[in-house]
Structure 1
Amino acid sequence: MLAVALVDRTGSGLWASVSVLYFTYVSGLTIAQIGTLAALAGAAGIAGAPIGGRIADRFPLTRVLVVLQLLRAVASLGLLTTDDYALLLAFSALGSLGERAANVLTKLYATRVAGPDRVRYQALNRTVANAGWALGGLAAAAALTLGTAGAYRWLLLGDALSFVGVALLTLRCGEPAPPSRVVAASHTPAPAGRPANPWRDRLYLGYVATETVLFLDDAVFKVGLPLWIAHAADVPHGLAPLLLVLNNVMVVALQVPVSRFGATTAAAGGLLLPLSLAYALGGLTMALSATGGTLTATAFLIAAAVSFTLAEMVHSTVSWELSVALAPDTAQGAYLGVHGLAQSAQRGIGPLAVTAAIAAGPAGWTVFGAGIALTCLVQHRTVRSRLAQPSLSVPPITLSEH
């Protein structure tokens, strides 16, 4: 699955960095049309997480993943065939739904295969994925030097072919043992009768609600930092892409070492307290970047990027472990599907939150960081009671298929 992550994210890196340019210069869409298309496609993606999770509890996981990757390939190829706005919207929505569903199922696959080493596996997966994003972005940047419509089309074709490659690689992966074949130290006992329903689990829904806020670091790098640098901070605009590179390099270099601090459920829960400090420090340094000259602002912005990147890596470790530990084994897919809604919802809420912080000035960033820090503490209190329950089984051991 690590090879799958590399190929998948390399293809996505080819497309993500040029999608707006493609729709502008090749499809001839207006800014308003592009914004509407992105918003509606993102809304469709929200449904992908719970749908994918529910299906994964009923059918072989690898086969469902293959279908989803082929669905994404069809969606990308469909964009190449038309400039009709309605069809572009339909294909974009289809691709977004497939992407979110595939992300949840890939996480579920790792959970079943890695067993007690799932946190380390996730860290390796994120490292490989970020390397793939970087490779795709560099390839896209090189292709864009041509500045032709053909170059944009080749990048989109490369994205589509990457999904076909991912589907072929997935076919070679063994089907992981279902939850019933795994002895797991879940903190949520499996109920008798039909599988548990995450929509009736108030504690888990409360946890997912706090997760939506903790995922806001994504919007900081994609929207907040570039806009703040462009409109408020006294620094060269070229600093924005450099901070994104810093974020990517830190994740590739440090995600695996950081994950060792959350190798168990108890350790992951304990990371929520230092995580709150990282978010608070990120907001404070963003605010301070508006109080000095160019060198001072640059130093504070670098500090902010480092703080939010550390928060991203720690939260990734915590989120991976708790989202699984809080779910009963008999309904992992359904529960992880609901958890996937947090990241999908953040894509809509995040840009609004960071632009509100920018509009409010330095105080806005301070409140932004403090608000996420407070949410970390709320999440810690929310999950503490369930994590305190004694495990009903022995330490996790994946049973042999033989």
Structure 2
Amino acid sequence: MTSISAERGSGVRPFLVGMFVDALGSGLYVPLTLLFIHTVTGLPMTTVGLGVTAAAVAGLAANPVAGVLIDRFDARRVLIGTYVLRALGFAAYPFVDGFGALIVVAALVAIGDRAYYPASGSYVSVLAEGARRDRLYALMSTARNVAFGLGGLLSSAAVSSGGQTGFVLIASVNAASFAVATGCLVLSGRRAPGTSPPRMPGGYRQVLADRPFIKLVGAEQAFTLTHMILPVALPVYAVTVLGAPAWLLGLLYTLNTVLVAAGQLAVRRWQRAARRTHAMALGGAVLIVSCAAYGAAIMVPAGPARAGALVAATLIFTVGELLHATPSWALAAAAAPPALRGRYLAIHQQTWAIAAVVAPAGFSALLGAAAALLWVTLGVLLAVASVVVLRLSRRLPAGAVAAPEI
């Protein structure tokens, strides 16, 4: 089995460079999504919100379509397509002048975003195997978090110094970042290494008939909903329920990003002797503790002590996120038949698309009913998911579950 350093000539290096540049550009935009679109297009914020929601719903269809394209062509070509779509979308944002145009452009970006994940996951599964695949997933996560954090810093500088011009600059730089990422893969001059597996009949019917894998996807939905705590639930909970200052959110976000970037490879090394299902379940247990810690923060006196409680809860949440991420990706990729890996990973990644649609309204409703209800609900879902994952350790392919070969 070749090492990752030896495989760089076969696509690893251009993939990682393109992915880093892509994440750097996205970091400029994601923390300011609604404000960015509102400022660049001049449309009312309510119109922007409706347009982004409609685009997110349209993005739900991107995962299954991407899965078919990956299996029919190859992951590298589909990955290039996701970069091209998003480059076109961000280049077009400054010219949007109405609701219809907004939906079209935002849908281009949403479709590219959603299709990126099964395409990149499938490409990694071809570039490396076993322990090296786990390492590459961890390296990808590390690089993306570093680039995303740098992008966020550059975004703040662009907006503070350039005003509306700064937002237009963000759109242009983000479009350019996707163009550069496209060039990285195009200039690699080859398909993913290895021979293409023969096509298998059945398509998505076969994926849906694979009951252990579908149960794994159901468990993964609980994890992905929990991963939405930081971007969706915490801003509402911390500011409106706990009365925490808004600036604390930036600190918590930065803390999470830095620790994920710094800790991913170390956690992966620590997990390398563990079954992937057991590593995921441990991550679930830690995330349950983080939900309890967030919920308990309301009992801490307001002020520095409560801010400290939120920092502690976010630290625990970050550890759970680190423990879950790499084994989850690697388990799904290894459990899929190579000829249908695109479809399998598309179904697996659909959990993120569903979470993006469900979390904003669902989390707000639970927090509105009773602050503790959100944390109890997520804790119960995680407990069930962790038990399901452990029970699947004997039903999923043994080679996918076992500790990867070092």
TM score, norm. by length of structure 1: 0.88
In structure 1, runs of 5+ residues without a counterpart are 182-189, 398-402
1:400 match: none
Please state if 1:3 is matched with 2:17: yes
Q: Which residue, out of 45, 49, 61, partners 1:47?
A: 61
Please state if 1:272 is matched with 2:246: no
SS in 2 for 1:18: helix
Cα distance in 2, alignment partners of residues 104 and 163 from structure 1: 17
In structure 2, runs of 5+ residues without a counterpart are 1-14
2:193 match: 177
Cα distance in 2, alignment partners of residues 213 and 102 from structure 1: 21
- Of the structure 1 ranges 69-78 and 157-166, higher mean CA displacement relative to structure 2 is found in 69-78
Counterpart code for 1:20: L
Superposed, 1:251-290 pairs within 5 Å as 251-263=260-272, 267-290=275-298
Please state if 1:100 is matched with 2:108: no
Q: Which residue, out of 93, 99, 109, partners 1:85?
A: 99
Cα distance in 2, alignment partners of residues 216 and 308 from structure 1: 13
Cα distance in 1, alignment partners of residues 162 and 77 from structure 2: 39
Q: Which residue, out of 25, 39, 51, partners 1:37?
A: 51
2:133 match: 118
1:187 match: none
Counterpart code for 1:245: T
Cα distance in 2, alignment partners of residues 390 and 73 from structure 1: 41
1:68 match: 82
1:160 match: 175
Counterpart code for 2:115: A
Superposed, 1:87-236 pairs within 5 Å as 87-116=101-130, 117-173=132-188, 174-178=190-194, 197-236=206-245
TM score, norm. by length of structure 2: 0.87
Cα distance in 2, alignment partners of residues 354 and 15 from structure 1: 23
Counterpart code for 1:115: E
Please state if 1:310 is matched with 2:319: yes
Q: Which residue, out of 329, 347, 361, partners 2:338?
A: 329
1:344 match: 353
SS in 2 for 1:343: helix
CA contact (8 A) 2:86 2:178 kept: yes
Per-residue deviation, 1:263: 3.4
Counterpart code for 1:139: L
Change beyond 3 A, Cα 1:177–1:375: farther
CA contact (8 A) 1:261 1:267 kept: no
Q: Which structure is higher in helix share?
A: 2
Query: Percent identity over the alignment?
Result: 26
1:185 match: none
Counterpart code for 1:286: Y
**How many pairs align?**
386
- Of the structure 1 ranges 303-312 and 200-209, higher mean CA displacement relative to structure 2 is found in 200-209
Per-residue deviation, 1:324: 1.3
Superposed, 1:351-366 pairs within 5 Å as 351-366=360-375
CA deviation map 1:353-376 (0-9, x unaligned) = 432442244532440342233133
Please state if 1:250 is matched with 2:259: yes
Counterpart code for 1:291: M
CA deviation map 1:72-101 (0-9, x unaligned) = 211211222221210111111011111211
